[in-house]
Structure 1
Amino acid sequence: MHIAPNIAAKAQKIKFLILDVDGVLTDNRLYYSDSGEELKAFYTRDGHGMVMLKKSGVDIGIITGRTSKLVAKRCQDLKINHLYMGVPDKLPSFLELLATLKLAPEQIAYIGDDILDLPILKRIGFSITPADGEAEVKSRVDYVSNYIGGQGVVREVCEIIMRSQGTFQQHMDFYLRDLAE
């Protein structure tokens, strides 16, 4: 994976990754069953990327405009403790999180896909949107992913951060270890 030097410099500083849900962790579509139950599909490779990133020392949070039991369950499964749901104006939650974590804005990365994410995207150290993010967002972020929302954007960003910080190889070494010894 080639990482441009300017992107690697931004990613090296990251201590916390914030994610939007719809259009980032999911494919941006809402699914409902006949009974009205909301359904979402999460990409498992994104989930494993988050697990590796957390093991590498970069924590993760979610700020989403919608409220969903499915998102709460996914956060529980991935041990994501910083979850803000039902906040259409995401900036106050971001500022609260920043104060709680005692981090500088340049230590934060954020993946968002729509114009409601811009108030955060313009205030942080490393801003990212999926390949299918809104044009107004694409023109204002540091990095446009090679992947669309719900299909690998989070994994790609996790790997960019880990590779830039020199922590990715420890995960490869673990999976490539020789168990015959």
Structure 2
Amino acid sequence: MQIDANIAAKAQKIKFLILDVDGVLTDNRLYYSDDGIETKTFYTRDGHGMVMLKKSGVDIGIITGRKSQLVANRCRDLKIEHLYQGVPDKLPSFLDLVSKLGLELDEIGYVGDDILDLPILKRVGLSVTPADGEDEVKSRVDYVSKYIGGKGVVREVCEIIMRSQGTFQQHMDFYLRDLED
């Protein structure tokens, strides 16, 4: 993976990554059953990227405008403790999280796909949108992923951060290790 020097310099500083859900962790579609049950699809490689990133020492949070039990369940599965749901104006939740964490803005990365993400995207150290993010967002972020929402954008960002911080190889070494009899 070739990483632009400017993006790598920003990614080296990241201690906390915040993600939107719809259009970032999912394909931006909502599915409803006849009885009104909402479902979403999550990409497992994105999930594993988050697991590796957390093991590398970068924590993760989620701020989403919608509220659903499935997102809470996914966060529980991935051991994501910082979850803000049902917040269409995301900036107050972001500022609350920054205050709780005691981090500098350049130590925070954010991945968002729509204009409601712009108040956060313009404040963080590394701002990213998926390849299918809104044009108004694409023109205002540090990096436009080569992947669309729900299909690898989060994994790519996690790998960019880990590679820039020199922690990716430890995960490769773990999976490529020789097992002794």
Question: TM-score, with normalisation over the residues of structure 1?
Answer: 0.99
Moved over 2 A (4+): none
CA distance, structure 1, for counterparts of residue 105 and residue 90 of structure 2: 15
Q: Secondary structure at the match of 1:60?
A: strand
Matched residue, 1:130: 130
Aligned to 1:107: 107
Partner of 2:171: 171
Distance 1:7 1:19 in 2: 18
Aligned to 1:79: 79
SS state of the match for residue 73, structure 1? Answer: helix
> How many angstroms does 1:7 deviate by?
0.3
- CA deviation digits over 1:35-56, x for unaligned, max 9? 1100000000000000000000
Q: Take 2:166 and 2:34, find their aligned partners in 1: how far apart are those partners? A: 48
Alpha-carbon offset, residue 180 of structure 1: 2.8
CA distance in 1, matches of 2:124, 2:154: 17
Residue type of the alignment partner of 2:25: L
TM-score by structure 2 length?
0.99
Task: Please list every run of 5 or more consecutive structure 2 residues that lacks an aligned counterpart in the other structure.
Answer: none
Instruction: State the Cα deviation string for residues 75-117 of structure 1 (Å, max 9, x = none).
Output: 0000000000000000000000000000000000000000000
- Give the match's secondary structure for 2:17: strand
In the alignment, the residues of structure 1 paired with residue 143 and residue 31 of structure 2 have an alpha-carbon distance, to the nearest angstrom, of: 29
SS in 1 for 2:50: helix
Q: 1:60 aligns to what?
A: 60
Report the RMSD for the aligned CA atoms in angstroms.
Answer: 0.6
Q: CA deviation at 1:9?
A: 0.1
Paired residue for 1:149? 149
- Unpaired runs of 5+ residues, structure 1, are none
Aligned equivalents of 2:59, 2:39: Cα separation in 1: 26
Once the two structures are TM-superposed, the CA of residue 34 in structure 1 deviates from its matched residue by 1.1
CA distance in 2: counterparts of 1:57 and 1:92, whole angstroms: 25
Residue 160 of structure 1: aligned partner: 160
